[in-house]
Structure 1
């Protein structure tokens, strides 16, 4: 890769659709294993500059100068609770504006770099209520002036919380703190606004990372000094341990190798290949890859936080805190897709602030918290992680605390020739579709197609990628080779401005919202969608959606079958168990035109087809 030019995969851009789809996956998954996305170095420089100067330096100056601290003497105030409060509020503000996580080219935002405020500050964009029809005043999928008003009120409240004078707190003063705390009244207002807008649009709530920061805001508003600090410790430990617990199973071993492959500072391809069993023939994780995942990830995220929570030994606590700081700095350095860099830096600081700056032996241990409040807080923090692991269909993987565990609800979209353009023509959204953004960046639509198929190669390195490709093979047959196959996460980014790997943001209800505006014909837009694996099951559920008809098939597959396969399915699609199929459903075919022009209207559909076994396979 160059400073301003990406590395180029071994695919002739104008011949990409001449290759069978699974051959593209074979080439590009192998390419990813050695090169990652091949992003130009300037992308990483942009993220580093934003992180260091805008987030860290900007947050530090805001937090110190508005709290009456001299920023040149951090030793005098770095343990002050108000500083941590303002760091969290600064992070929430940037997340809400869309300039923190899921920002920029590594998250599929090429031009513009953000969707955030361009989505939430604009009427008629799609909104996604989490419980439509069940919560009053939340029905509908159109953003209204009310939603925009709520969003602006949140931004204003966050800004006021950062700049207005702090209030005195006798409990903090008794422990030697001098900075006071952010106004509890403003925290109550902020919490109410976040819940109100979140009930009307789950996308915003998750972008603001409400599942983690809303509990902290509640603690800021309602808890006394000691209870607040101990509750914040409980919160971060639940996040850490929940993430560690979610990495048990067959998925996480497949996450780390492609993440390391995309790490810009790993200099040698051999260091990337070592994480795969036998490159290039076998791209399942090697023993070294699994060891890095489950020792460097699972073990550290479970054991170390519990040590921090219960330790009263200074040396042990220092070692554990340093380990967690290094853990988050390592993740930051890998530039993972969705780039949650600010979140990782905040958690690195939190490990030091909470457990070294306000240690258990100084009156901030579990035993120092009000007993009944400790029970209520722990139960509240554990509710969604427990429910989400047992019933992932009910809870986003973010409140379930299953961040980057490989066990995601995921989807792949398939468009008949020319159909994709309708998304640009008929949707009110914050950005052009990703193929158009990449075309402007790379100067060629063919080169942009190759770049998007690199993302499909990345997805196929994960367990759900094998399943999604198997579903598409089963549904589309030979038509798979000339349909435009897209990673749903990047597509959703363009339409609602945010996605963090959560397939619940582009489920059947979201597809119905798109269909209402775009009016696809049967067979033009097909979606393969899979749900996360419940902790007590050995299978995952999938659905097939024809945008014009809704869900047309439901079924399951065994996780072990997906994990055992190669990304390009050399042995054919993994076995699928069809549990239900829409009566009379027959997929409409759209054959490949003689000369593919992906920007014009598609040819008329061919005859209606259905596989004899009801699988919907792509017969001739």
Structure 2
């Protein structure tokens, strides 16, 4: 990797451009296996600096609290319950503004490096309600002044809470500072709930599956908030671990480690594959890391939850800190960096500083049990019915098993999108051409294809695009990642196909009026945990769905990243 310039594959553009899509992906996949995306070191340092600013911002906010004093006297106040409360709300605010997950060039956001607040304070941008036909007053796809006011209210209420003082002594929590007023917590939750029903994108961008249940825990009394927070952490870890019990996760490991700025030796990166450069399926090292990581995430949190101090707690906490540091230092695509910092902080403040608090100290166990049932039930339902529930509340983090889409867009349709939707960024292809030039922009675009193809679902997606576009007319289309287009259309993306499925297709069609054949979309559902197949649909934006069927996971995991011949089973 260069310090200021990206390390891109070197190809003979004239010869390379003559190949099929699969043939052009092959050298990109090999480059990815040895180098990753080729991100310049200065860009990684930029993200490290952003994490540092996140920590500094939280530090200063905590110090604004009456009774919390001393910039360097962290040991005197870091375990105060109100500190944990404020870190939760601060991280929620950081994410929902757009500064966290999905920020910047590593998530295909160049200018501007984030959307979120720039979209959601602007009327007539696209919103995507989760249940428009079931929840009253949520129909429609256009953001209204009411939606803007609700989003602004969330920002204001959260900011007020962050600058507030505690309510006073609480003996059960051994604090004289206290916790935040209940009305502030209730107000934030109420506005977030209404916002989520009006636009699921904002709820997901706020990482509502993590910070909403933790905020709900703050409504409890005595020591119950911290115990409930421990329960939520336990579900997050174990839910994510269970979702990794599949054939996809080793592919995530090999792809992520190839892109890691810490793992720099090409010879080591090659060991994550079966037989570089000809067989780029995950090798023994990738499978070992995948199995070990799953075992750690499944078993160690149980020890952390029930140990209540001593060496077992210390060892378990150390292991979980190393676990999150491993993800953090890999700087994965989507850049969920601050979330991993938050989880590390939670390990310390909940499970180490308050190791003595367990289920036996609950004063009102029923609310905590109900919170557990809702959060854990959502995880279970998300794994059984992934088409219905986003991978975020389903906690299928890093599992390699997400809903995905590829959009086949004609230049005429791209022009309609630029003219027809309210956005602050141009189409992804135009952004790449702006930085690399029209010809060289093909290189990073195909590196993006290679990243998708290095994951199992990529084999199916690039097989299905041949079925989506008319035979012998594929050259008329530009194949675009659904999440890249989603970033332009709704202001945020994080690899979640639920935000660029039929609902977004309909919203864009309503504004752009595509002709039949101008936009064709491949939609591939995630794998239900109890089945070994993934459902797909092919949709024309103007005329609707024209094919559906399924592919088998076993057929995807045995193929190379450049393969586009996965057997397809069409439903009659």
Bin the TM-score by the shorter chain.
over 0.9
Alignment of 1:114-125 (within 5 A): 114-125=114-125
What is the Cα deviation at residue 482 of structure 1?
Answer: 5.2
What is the Cα deviation at residue 430 of structure 1?
Answer: 2.8
Q: Hey, what does 2:174 align to over in structure 1?
A: 176
Q: 1:577 to 1:67 in 2, by over 3 A?
A: farther
Does the 8 Å contact 2:533/2:553 carry over to 1?
A: yes
Alignment of 1:15-54 (within 5 A): 17-52=17-52, 54=53
Secondary structure class of the residue paired with 2:79: coil
Cα offsets for 1:289-316 (capped at 9, x unmatched): 1111121x21111001111111135101
- Residue of 457, 468, 475 corresponding to 2:468: 475
Q: Hey, what does 1:208 align to over in structure 2?
A: 206
Does the 8 Å contact 1:415/1:483 carry over to 2?
A: yes
What is the Cα deviation at residue 472 of structure 1?
Answer: 1.2
Q: Hey, what does 2:239 align to over in structure 1?
A: 242
Residues 1:311 and 2:307 aligned together:
yes
What is the Cα deviation at residue 439 of structure 1?
Answer: 2.4
Q: Hey, what does 1:508 align to over in structure 2?
A: 502
Does the 8 Å contact 1:422/1:518 carry over to 2?
A: yes
Q: Hey, what does 2:113 align to over in structure 1?
A: 113
What is the Cα deviation at residue 45 of structure 1?
Answer: 1.3
What is the Cα deviation at residue 132 of structure 1?
Answer: 0.8
**Structure 1 CA distance, aligned partners of 2:141 and 2:535?**
26
**Structure 2 CA distance, aligned partners of 1:49 and 1:383?**
37
Q: Hey, what does 2:414 align to over in structure 1?
A: 420
Cα offsets for 1:230-268 (capped at 9, x unmatched): 100000110010000000011101101110111112121
- Residue of 269, 273, 283 corresponding to 1:272: 269
**Structure 2 CA distance, aligned partners of 1:500 and 1:545?**
22
Alignment of 1:68-147 (within 5 A): 68-70=67-69, 71-147=71-147
Instruction: For structure 2, list consecutive stretches of 5 or more residues without a partner in the other structure.
Output: none
What is the Cα deviation at residue 438 of structure 1?
Answer: 2.2
Does the 8 Å contact 1:488/1:506 carry over to 2?
A: yes
Q: 1:103 to 1:14 in 2, by over 3 A?
A: farther
Does the 8 Å contact 1:250/1:563 carry over to 2?
A: yes
Q: Hey, what does 1:602 align to over in structure 2?
A: none
What is the Cα deviation at residue 212 of structure 1?
Answer: 1.2
**Structure 1 CA distance, aligned partners of 2:345 and 2:475?**
48
Residues 1:301 and 2:301 aligned together:
no
Does the 8 Å contact 1:33/1:272 carry over to 2?
A: yes
Instruction: For structure 1, list consecutive stretches of 5 or more residues without a partner in the other structure.
Output: 581-620
What is the Cα deviation at residue 15 of structure 1?
Answer: 6.5
**Structure 1 CA distance, aligned partners of 2:173 and 2:185?**
22
Does the 8 Å contact 1:16/1:450 carry over to 2?
A: no
Does the 8 Å contact 1:466/1:565 carry over to 2?
A: yes
Alignment of 1:203-352 (within 5 A): 203-220=201-218, 222-295=219-292, 297-352=293-348
- Residue of 353, 356, 367 corresponding to 2:352: 356
Q: Hey, what does 2:57 align to over in structure 1?
A: 58
What is the Cα deviation at residue 287 of structure 1?
Answer: 1.0
Secondary structure class of the residue paired with 2:473: helix
Does the 8 Å contact 1:234/1:378 carry over to 2?
A: yes
Please identify, of 471-480 and 246-255, the stretch whose mean Cα deviation from structure 2 is larger.
471-480
Q: Hey, what does 2:479 align to over in structure 1?
A: 485
RMSD over aligned Cα, in angstroms?
1.5
**Structure 2 CA distance, aligned partners of 1:183 and 1:146?**
26
Q: Hey, what does 1:494 align to over in structure 2?
A: 488
Please identify, of 368-377 and 301-310, the stretch whose mean Cα deviation from structure 2 is larger.
368-377
**Structure 2 CA distance, aligned partners of 1:449 and 1:145?**
40
Residues 1:541 and 2:539 aligned together:
no
Q: Hey, what does 2:552 align to over in structure 1?
A: 558
Secondary structure class of the residue paired with 2:202: helix
**Structure 2 CA distance, aligned partners of 1:372 and 1:292?**
39
What is the Cα deviation at residue 371 of structure 1?
Answer: 3.1
What is the Cα deviation at residue 550 of structure 1?
Answer: 1.5
Does the 8 Å contact 1:110/1:441 carry over to 2?
A: no
Alignment of 1:338-487 (within 5 A): 338-359=334-355, 362=356, 364-369=357-362, 370-442=364-436, 444-476=437-469, 477-481=471-475, 483-487=477-481
**Structure 2 CA distance, aligned partners of 1:482 and 1:263?**
36
Q: 1:478 to 1:304 in 2, by over 3 A?
A: farther
Does the 8 Å contact 1:430/1:496 carry over to 2?
A: no
**Structure 1 CA distance, aligned partners of 2:434 and 2:417?**
17
Secondary structure class of the residue paired with 2:314: helix
Q: Return the TM-score normalized by structure 1.
A: 0.89
What is the Cα deviation at residue 19 of structure 1?
Answer: 2.6
**Structure 2 CA distance, aligned partners of 1:182 and 1:16?**
60
Please identify, of 132-141 and 17-26, the stretch whose mean Cα deviation from structure 2 is larger.
17-26
Secondary structure class of the residue paired with 1:213: helix
Q: 1:179 to 1:430 in 2, by over 3 A?
A: farther
What is the Cα deviation at residue 24 of structure 1?
Answer: 1.4
Q: Hey, what does 1:526 align to over in structure 2?
A: 520
Q: 1:224 to 1:276 in 2, by over 3 A?
A: same
**Structure 2 CA distance, aligned partners of 1:123 and 1:534?**
37
Residues 1:578 and 2:563 aligned together:
no
Does the 8 Å contact 2:309/2:352 carry over to 1?
A: no
Q: Return the TM-score normalized by structure 2.
A: 0.97
Q: 1:277 to 1:481 in 2, by over 3 A?
A: farther
Does the 8 Å contact 1:132/1:138 carry over to 2?
A: yes
What is the Cα deviation at residue 365 of structure 1?
Answer: 0.7
Secondary structure class of the residue paired with 1:445: coil
What is the Cα deviation at residue 418 of structure 1?
Answer: 4.5
Cα offsets for 1:259-286 (capped at 9, x unmatched): 0111112121111111110111111101
Q: 1:21 to 1:418 in 2, by over 3 A?
A: farther
Q: 1:280 to 1:199 in 2, by over 3 A?
A: same
**Structure 1 CA distance, aligned partners of 2:210 and 2:391?**
12
**Structure 2 CA distance, aligned partners of 1:174 and 1:289?**
46
Does the 8 Å contact 1:512/1:550 carry over to 2?
A: no
